[in-house]
Structure 1
């Protein structure tokens, strides 16, 4: 991975893009055609909705901005040879609260209108035992005309955490969910997202890819640059939640 001394905002520089209007390319069929081919991943449902003249309020990591047009995309996928329906039935029968947690993973992306695209992609992480920071986390990409993505890790919803799905029943562990949080789902979300962006913006020769996250999101960031360093051009990582053996006793100490 190439190291950079500046945060994500300073890395963004506008480049040319296709002149197509958002309504022309922001369709489920166009996005489906833009999906990359990835060994071991089987794509399911795809949705795409154009959003116009969107305003982003200032946050801790980015300033306010207005007048953004983007394509709001969601994609569901599963892993080859893993039986989602069997796992779903087992979980719903043993622990009803896990009925929505399957091996199906949902990823969400905001893709700027082609005229606002800067050839950048921002991968985002979560906090606590959440693998994402909600859809508001994607707004940081819009501020800098970058596509942005997040994943639900296959936990069933954007608000479901690892602790909700890790133990389906006594004596069992959902090891797939643990691996997804540990490193796999962020990697796949980034790989799918940059693949979509490459095909979605027809004149893009290079998608510059960055990661941003803090706490658990910081740990997730290190999992990415350590395992998939060549996938990223830079990473903004804050307060990575390492050394779990020390942290957890601190969390439960009265």
Structure 2
């Protein structure tokens, strides 16, 4: 199993009225169309609202695409014009945006917006999605979310309400408007369609685009969305307190293998294939109490406090009466790199880091605030009051659906950053709130997928092609073929990786079931069926 880069895993999560007034200063795409610029470099002379294009240069195929000074970049899959702009929609805003434009003959006539991750702060993560877009012939755009930082740092938000609005939703909207203007100025033919793809915080960004700015994109992909952000941070803090509330509650990294081995032994074969992947872990009634030490502590068992920590993380956040507030995490991949150790139980577990930054710099605006100051009743209410209207996306996508918008949701069952059931709950809310959701949305739950990428299952799939075919008039996707690779991280980046097998991903609630004959590494030997 290839080890997931902790930084990459972390990063993927990785004054509203005044802000909206500033956004309105951008002219609609139709009114800013200009004659084709003729060359990449000439785009620096394009007049844009509330900002400036400070560079436009050609990038050769194979040339390294660097997004942070001093750090290496991946090779460009094709030649493109790289446009960099800085927008200042308010006095305290500074949003860095890039637009990548394939050479004329290579452009497929469409635009791909790319989500960021974590707290944003650079263009590194959007560039990964933009690179995929360029390889497929899309023009592409992304932003740094309006501030400079690393992806787990929220110091930039201290007493900066406009920067929070930029992070919450405005930066991606401005990127869409700017990209459409640049595309209209660079190519002689009009834009045929615009799509957006983001995972983790990028998934939250995707849902905000659909809800707040329904005309920005024609169709959207939201993976493992970190939404609603304010409630997710309350869940993160609850996880942190459960895992580290007392010294004897901490589960050592070496003991995570005990949980994984025991949960797989109980539930792996239930779907008819023993492959170290539990297809629907909700049906696994694994209780970590079976691992409790008979007396004292030992390497091959869990102490009673450690058992209670595991139970709390599986269960999720509950109120005083035991009612669920936020879902928990699934059994089967506790010891997989980039899962529990990175997010939940390790010495530097990211749930504690993300939630502490949120409450310290946004909610309380107090750099001295500590997790021990957290009030599980008052603080989530205060966070929602101050920031739900800026950061959270609602399930009211009626305006997006009304104009024909299509939405693909996906989430990995082995995600230890954002609970998989959170996306299922959002999908069910969509269908309850608007009739069009059933025909205009598809959800794919991915067995064996960790947070956005990696994991022991068939985790390589192509939602963009499925979305494009659907948007172009094809039927709604009922399944996608996913590939298991020897190096899933390389495969995610579009670098050489060996395919080891395929499985179908089925539109929820259907699940893939082996027909009973033929290789279990061939998607053709599986059917998508209603769950038992």
Specify the TM-score bucket, using the shorter chain as the normaliser: 0.5 to 0.7
Q: Aligned-pair distance for 1:160?
A: 5.7
Equivalences for residues 69-108 of structure 1 within 5 A: 69-79=79-89, 82-84=90-92, 103-108=93-98
Matching residue of 1:9: none
**Secondary structure at the residue paired with 2:226?**
coil
What SS does the aligned partner of 2:190 have? coil
Deviation at 1:247, TM superposition (A): 3.4
Secondary structure at 2:117 match in 1? coil
Per the alignment, residue 30 of structure 1 pairs with: 43
1: CA distance, partners of 2:85 / 2:161: 23
1:181 pairs with one of 167, 174, 199: 167
Conserved 8 A contact 2:183-2:191: no
Q: Does 1:192 align with 2:166?
A: no
* TM-superposed deviation, 1:66: 7.6
Q: 1:52 aligns with which of 53, 60, 63?
A: 60
2:205 equivalent in structure 1: 220
Aligned counterparts of 1:238 and 1:219: Cα–Cα separation in 2? 8
Are the aligned partners of 2:119 and 2:152 in contact in 1 as well (CA < 8 Å)? yes
Q: Which position in structure 2 is the counterpart of 1:236? A: 221
Q: Distance in 1 between matches of 2:192 and 2:115?
A: 19
Local SS of the residue matching 1:199: helix
**Structure with greater strand percent:** 1
* Alpha-carbon displacement from aligned partner over 1:67-105 (angstroms, at most 9, x marks no partner): 6110011011212xx435xxxxxxxxxxxxxxxxxx222
How far 1:240 moved relative to its partner? Answer: 0.7
Kept in 2, the 8 Å contact 1:45–1:76? The answer is yes
Following superposition, which runs of at least 4 residues in structure 1 exceed 6 angstroms of deviation? none
Matches within 5 A, 1:16-27: 25-27=39-41
Q: Note the residue ranges of structure 1 that are not aligned, 5 or more in a row.
A: 1-19, 57-64, 85-102, 168-172
Q: Report the counterpart of residue 7 of structure 1 in structure 2.
A: none
SS of 2:118's partner is coil
Cα distance, 1:250 vs structure 2:
2.4
Conserved in 2, the CA contact under 8 Å of 1:45 and 1:75? Answer: yes
Q: CA 1:129–1:115 in structure 2 vs 1: closer, same or farther (change >3 Å)?
A: same
Q: Which runs of 5+ in 2 are unaligned?
A: 1-35, 65-74, 245-532
Change in 2 beyond 3 A, CA 1:214/1:66: closer
For residue 206 of structure 1, what is the aligned residue in structure 2?
191
The Cα offsets for residues 176-209 of structure 1, whole Å up to 9 and x where unpaired, read as 111111111001111111111011102x223411
Shift of 1:220: 0.6
Residue matched to 1:250: 239
1:87-131, CA deviations, whole angstroms, 9 ceiling, x for partnerless residues? xxxxxxxxxxxxxxxx22210121101110111111111222226
- Displacement of 1:153: 2.4
State the match for 1:137 in structure 2.
129
Distance verdict in 2 for CA 1:229–1:205, change over 3 Å: same
Rounded to whole Å, the distance in 2 between the matches of 1:114 and 1:224 is 28
SS at match of 1:53: coil
Whose radius of gyration is greater, 1 or 2? 2
| 1:235 CA displacement | 0.7
TM-score after normalising by structure 2? 0.34
Alignment partner, residue 21 of structure 2: none
CA RMSD of aligned residues (A): 2.9
Rounded Cα–Cα distance in structure 2 between residues aligned with 1:156 and 1:31:
23
Q: Does 1:166 align with 2:157?
A: yes
Look up the match of 2:78. 68
1:123 and 1:134 map into 2 onto residues whose CA distance is: 8
CA distance in 2, matches of 1:161, 1:32: 36
Aligned residues: 194
Distance 1:140 1:205, change over 3 A: same
